[in-house]
Structure 1
Amino acid sequence: MGRRDVLALLGAAAAWTYPARAQRSIPVLGYLCPESPVPFASRLKAFHDGLRETGYIEGKNVAIEYRWAEGQYKRLPDLAASLVARDVDIIVAPGGAPVALAAKASTTSKTIVFEMGGDPVQLGVVDSLSRPGGNITGVSSLSVEVSRKRLEFMHELLPAATALAVVANPTSPTAKSQLESLHSAAGVLGVDLQILNASIEQEFEPAFSAAAQKPPTGLVFTSDPYFAFRSGQLAALAQQYRLPAITQSRDFPIAGGLMSYGGDFVQSHRRTGVYAGRILHGEKPSNLPVQLVTRVEFFVNLKAAKILGIELSPSLISSADEVIE
């Protein structure tokens, strides 16, 4: 789904006005998103595909009210509260732990369907995966749990490096657990870690600059939605500073970065749409276990490697799910 398609879709949706529940002819979903429509386009399409699998099509037999945080995650609680005030039937909270936590804090009665890369039990979003309990369920991928594997891939790429840089978002609910896992992996690999913090776009370039002061090194990004939705900017900086880097999102190597390793976000967002549709059909969220997307993708970009002057080993290339020539 391209920019024009997304804007047309949202423009048509904006033309609707959704009356009070008693007057509605079709159910209304509230879609709470941490970003803006264009970078979220492929995720939104996957969500609509999942809804369609259950027989629901926006504008035909279901309406959707969108709330976009535009990358300002502090706005999420207020946006969630506005959906509760609109009395939507279900709040869909895709795009990571901050969205799920904001939605959960906003209501104890509205049904919530989340999508995230972290452990929803560890974060206190649900009671358990098999019995989420209450008004909430959703889908979780393995993006957070596989951060240490990104470090292993970077070490395989640069076996002579004695230190590797890690970029983390200190405001992320999963940052602490990811860094603990990365330090543990670094001990096994015998490398030191240089921890660099970035929670806003203005801190990206200083992180790359700091990592470039101690070559040869590679840059490993923790799993974080804020990083994932800025893959183009991160890829441009990696080329500018001539640093091999790996993130969670396939969008990074597609944009010109070197490698990515993380969960299949298309599958996780499609399943979120399926769950929303099943609940609209009458199933209770407390009876729907949290789904785990177990597929993990490894992408490598050979053109980026050539620009960086790096030769990828045959084992790295053979491990990739997709090689970008």
Structure 2
Amino acid sequence: MTRLAALVVSGLLLILSAVLEPNLADAQPGVRIARVSYFSPGSLGAPGHTGLRNALRDLGYVEGRNIVYEDRFADGAFGRFPELAAQLARSRVDVICAVGPAAIQAAKDATTTIPIVMAFSGDDPVRSEFVASLARPGGNITGLTILVADLTSKRLALLNEVVPGLTRVVALANPTNRSTADELRELAKAAQALRLETQVVEARERSQLDGAFAVIAKSRAGAVLVFADPVFVANRDRVVTLAAASRLPAVYAWREYADAGGLMAYAPNREELNERTASFVDRILKGAKPADLPIEQPTRWELIINMKTAKALGLTIPPSLLRLAQRIIE
């Protein structure tokens, strides 16, 4: 090889190295680089994605110095999970942070050795056979569980308190979400207790949202309960806009909806979820075994009320409810 050719090849290798591993530029010699994946049914920039990175940074994990991220997003296409999980298993990351039951199941099916942290599980992790028990998970999975079905009754009660003379509620649900069946059962029980009629309208992807709300607008319902679902969260601006166009009060599963103009959200506190997920990752990277780390549940919840939206809908929020709210958007 001529000297010129050698220089050209050397230069190309340097360029490829910079392209393939840009985040390792600041790595210190001798420092072990942790490889962590955020495995989500949502999209890049999902609320928990940035929050988890910030929480890990607070624990001393600086991207490019002692941690790199190999994230995977299904973009609402649940059928992509098996291949994405297989990619992570082949890459042998140190920890997979899986968001929601479908991602957890796919990660569990793909590996029995890589630690999996449930950023949250939307259903019972014992019944789903993710873990042996909450106290002693027993395998390669640990983390946080949020029983989303338990929150459905609380959200329905909020609508009943806010909307005068409410008799009928529509639930917007994604039938491909594993948590939906549990939410529907809880909705039926709660509606019976409150003597409310319910109707379920389905949407599996963004392209079906407009049609779903067209059905909702003709349903004679007095309010909408939007189930917890990554497709809906990723398209929250559209969901909120459609709810506003239908002139129907709606309650949502995450604070980001209220920030986008939704009437109300009742949800676990995002900061706590991120901090506790990061704590699981930190302990595992320092040698703890998932089998020995008990499953945890959120302890902080938040009610967010958007008063601008309430005014636009002609609703008067009861003072008792305002006193319970952790945040009021004026």
Counting only pairs closer than 5 Å after superposition, residues 89-168 of structure 1 correspond to structure 2 as 89-93=94-98, 95-116=99-120, 117-168=122-173
Amino acid at match of 2:201: L
Give the equivalent residue in structure 2 for 1:49. 54
Count of matched residue positions in the alignment of Structure 1 and Structure 2:
308
Give 2:40's match in structure 1, choosing from 28, 33, 38: 33
Give the equivalent residue in structure 2 for 1:230. 235
Q: Deviations over 1:146-178 (max 9, x none)?
A: 111111111112241221111111111111111
SS in 2 for 1:266: helix
- Asked if the contact 1:140–1:268 (Cα under 8 Å) also holds between the matched residues in 2, the reply is no
CA distance in 1, matches of 2:138, 2:53: 26
- Asked if the contact 1:71–1:226 (Cα under 8 Å) also holds between the matched residues in 2, the reply is yes
Name the TM-score, length of structure 2 as normaliser. Answer: 0.87
- Asked if the contact 1:54–1:278 (Cα under 8 Å) also holds between the matched residues in 2, the reply is no
Distance 1:149 1:106, change over 3 A: same
> Is the deviation greater in 299-308 or in 263-272?
263-272
The gaps in structure 2 that reach 5 residues or longer are 1-17
CA shift, 1:242, in A, is 1.1
Amino acid at match of 1:278: R
SS in 2 for 1:291: coil
Q: Deviations over 1:98-124 (max 9, x none)?
A: 111111111111111111243222322
- Asked if the contact 1:112–1:135 (Cα under 8 Å) also holds between the matched residues in 2, the reply is yes
- Asked if the contact 2:74–2:80 (Cα under 8 Å) also holds between the matched residues in 1, the reply is yes
| Structure 1 vs Structure 2 CA RMSD | 2.3
Give the equivalent residue in structure 2 for 1:249. 254
- Asked if the contact 2:258–2:264 (Cα under 8 Å) also holds between the matched residues in 1, the reply is yes
CA distance in 1, matches of 2:108, 2:227: 24
Larger radius of gyration: 2
Q: Is 1:15 aligned with 2:19? A: no
- Asked if the contact 1:123–1:173 (Cα under 8 Å) also holds between the matched residues in 2, the reply is no
SS in 2 for 1:167: strand
Give 2:63's match in structure 1, choosing from 44, 58, 64: 58
CA distance in 2, matches of 1:27, 1:216: 51
Amino acid at match of 1:66: D
> Is the deviation greater in 287-296 or in 199-208?
199-208
CA shift, 1:81, in A, is 0.5
- Asked if the contact 2:115–2:290 (Cα under 8 Å) also holds between the matched residues in 1, the reply is yes
Amino acid at match of 2:38: Y
CA shift, 1:13, in A, is 8.7
Give the equivalent residue in structure 1 for 2:292. 287
CA shift, 1:206, in A, is 2.3
Q: Is 1:80 aligned with 2:85? A: yes
Q: Deviations over 1:124-153 (max 9, x none)?
A: 221211111111111123544211111111
Distance 1:87 1:17, change over 3 A: farther
Q: Deviations over 1:189-239 (max 9, x none)?
A: 111111111111122222222222244510011222322232211111111
CA shift, 1:74, in A, is 1.5
- Asked if the contact 1:143–1:262 (Cα under 8 Å) also holds between the matched residues in 2, the reply is no
CA distance in 2, matches of 1:201, 1:90: 30
CA distance in 1, matches of 2:273, 2:234: 16
CA distance in 1, matches of 2:123, 2:189: 18
CA distance in 2, matches of 1:301, 1:175: 26
Give the equivalent residue in structure 2 for 1:4. none
Name the TM-score, length of structure 1 as normaliser. Answer: 0.88
CA distance in 2, matches of 1:104, 1:24: 29
CA shift, 1:58, in A, is 1.9
Distance 1:124 1:231, change over 3 A: same
Give the equivalent residue in structure 1 for 2:273. 268
